[in-house]
Chain A
Amino acid sequence: MIRDITIGQYYPADSVIHRLDPRTKLFGTMIFLISLFLADSIWAYVLATAVLAAAIRISKVPFSFMVRGLKAIVILLLISVSFNLFLTDGETLVKLGFLRITKEGLYTAAFMAVRLIYLVLGSSLMTLTTTPNELTDGLEKGLGFLKRFGLPIHEVSMMMSIALRFIPILIEETDKIMKAQMARGADFESGNLIQKAKAMVPLLVPLFISAFRRATDLAMAMEARCYRGGEGRTKMKPLKYKSRDRISYLLFFLYIGIIIAMRVML
């Protein structure tokens, strides 16, 4: 049922990519995303494809898992491809009534599609190999310099990790309450829009109540363990770059260098 949703789900495996420092992965993902927008030739895309394929291979995450994230953007993909395909001016290839496909349109549509797909694959690779906790740790440390400008980085990342932590809990809770109400004959599927909205009341009321209860419980438990923000707080597992991270950074710079060189020279 509703449990089948997999947003940013972590895929446990033992690979070099899983063990990388989250900051390295964040940075690497960013570099990859930037490279997609810098790439403007076939060769640049060939390189990006090779890098992405190698990374997926090394991560040991099954390809079927990676593709799952793409389902969410199918519609976006269709819209952007058809816009580019039909609305770009240039040399006409095919004409269907008032629609016409141009050579330039075909190019941009293809590039656009590849870009979007790689964007999703690249970022899913990061979320699939990094636990939400590592991710927020990485963000907190990586953006730590912003504290100097008075930004509450620790608090924001704590809120983020709590929010992430609560997603599966709330999904589970929704599933439970839904089943309990279905056992009492509730029907969440049939009926028109208004009936459907009404049918949600027996689900939403208990869900909100339990979310608030959990929130107060958690706040209480954190205070009972003397949580008082980031000031002077130390980590059990402080993030530390290892040699594999240094090598990765080197590779990232090499990769983006080549992409830029291709853009300038080709």
Chain B
Amino acid sequence: MGIKAVNLNYIYGQGTAFEQYALKDVNFEIQDGEFIGLIGHTGSGKSTLIQHLNGLLKATSGEIYVNGENIYSPGYNMKALRSKVGLVFQYPEHQLFEVDVFSDVCFGPKNQGLPKEEIERRAREALSLVGLDESYYSQSPFELSGGQKRRVAIAGVLAMEPQVLILDEPTAGLDPRGRDEILDQIDRLHRERGMTIILVSHSMEDVAKYADRLLVMNHGEKLFDGPPKEVFKHYKELEQVGLAAPQITYIVQDLRSRGIDIDDNITTIAEAKEAILALLSGKEKT
């Protein structure tokens, strides 16, 4: 499902004393099945941008096309859009409200008007995707730990089986194992079901590892747009806007500056490991 944004502008509190420009002339096009990493400093407009993609915020000016259809055209079915484009908010655990975990996850599919068996099948599947087994089903969501609540909330959106899944910092505040589990699960949804993913993250390592393409926001404007390797080549500029390249890129740069001939295109630890091993085995032979 393609999403295209044309000259998107958004101003918070328009017409009040507290006008705040949050998006300035943002343009991009996302193809079916891409894994996008959306990065940018705090307050750069990432959360604002993604809320446009399922029609929760209406652009002050500009258009959004989903599957070629303008979502601002009169009579456009926003509810259908929201079940196609699933959005997991920053700190989604604050939206839980049901008496038990299972019914909370059922809330989304129920709103889609599905039959009961289908709702329950989806809820079960979504809960197992986020790694919660049946022992959690009847627990109150308010008695879970923060990370478990997060998983329930993510399952609540997954159960709607969206074609595009947008996650706003889904791993903030999780332990390293929990982060990896959730991100691996998202990656699997992307690879196995061809789900389009937009991942907002402050971790350069995570986006380097999972995303095919990065969008970099700076003060409401799109600064870079391209594959992670291309974008991280601009690490000097990224630093100027409060971002950075992955740690490993710095190590590689450091090695190069010491005269070691290693590929400067490396952004993940796995790649670095291979390159270094190749270099070492090359040395042994000579």
Closest to B92 in A: A180
**Which residues of B (213-262) have their CB < 8 Å from a CB of A?**
none
- Bound complex: CA A205 to CA B95 (Å): 9
For residue A152, CB closer than 8 A to chain B, the reply is no
Task: Find B82's partner among A11, A182, A209 (CB 8 Å cutoff).
Answer: A182
Task: Find B86's partner among A176, A183, A206, A210 (CB 8 Å cutoff).
Answer: A183
Q: Do A179 and B89 touch across chains, with their CB atoms under 8 A apart?
A: yes
Least CB distance from B118 to A in Å reads: 14
**Which residues of B (12-66) have their CB < 8 Å from a CB of A?**
13, 16-17, 51, 54, 56
Q: Do B16 and A186 touch across chains, with their CB atoms under 8 A apart?
A: no
Least CB distance from B104 to A in Å reads: 9
Task: Find A6's partner among B16, B79, B82 (CB 8 Å cutoff).
Answer: B16
User: A interface, how many residues as a size bin?
Assistant: 20 to 34
Beta-carbon contacts of B78-90 to A below 8 Å, as 1s and 0s? 0100110011010
The winner among A173, A179, A209 for most chain B CB atoms within 10 A is A179
For residue B170, CB closer than 8 A to chain A, the reply is no
Closest to B14 in A: A4
The winner among A181, A184, A185 for most chain B CB atoms within 10 A is A184
**Which residues of B (183-219) have their CB < 8 Å from a CB of A?**
none
CB contacts (< 8 Å) of A42 on chain B: these are none
- Bound complex: CA A3 to CA B82 (Å): 22
For residue A265, CB closer than 8 A to chain B, the reply is no
Task: Find B56's partner among A179, A202, A205 (CB 8 Å cutoff).
Answer: A179
Known: A177-B94, A209-B142, A210-B94. A202 touches B17 (CB 8 A): no
Give me the 7 closest cross-chain CB pairs, A-B, nearest first.
A185-B111, A205-B97, A180-B95, A184-B108, A183-B87, A202-B97, A180-B89
- Please report B residues at the A interface, Cβ cutoff 8 Å: 13, 16-17, 51, 54, 56, 79, 82-83, 86-87, 89, 92, 94-97, 107-108, 111-112, 142, 156-157, 160
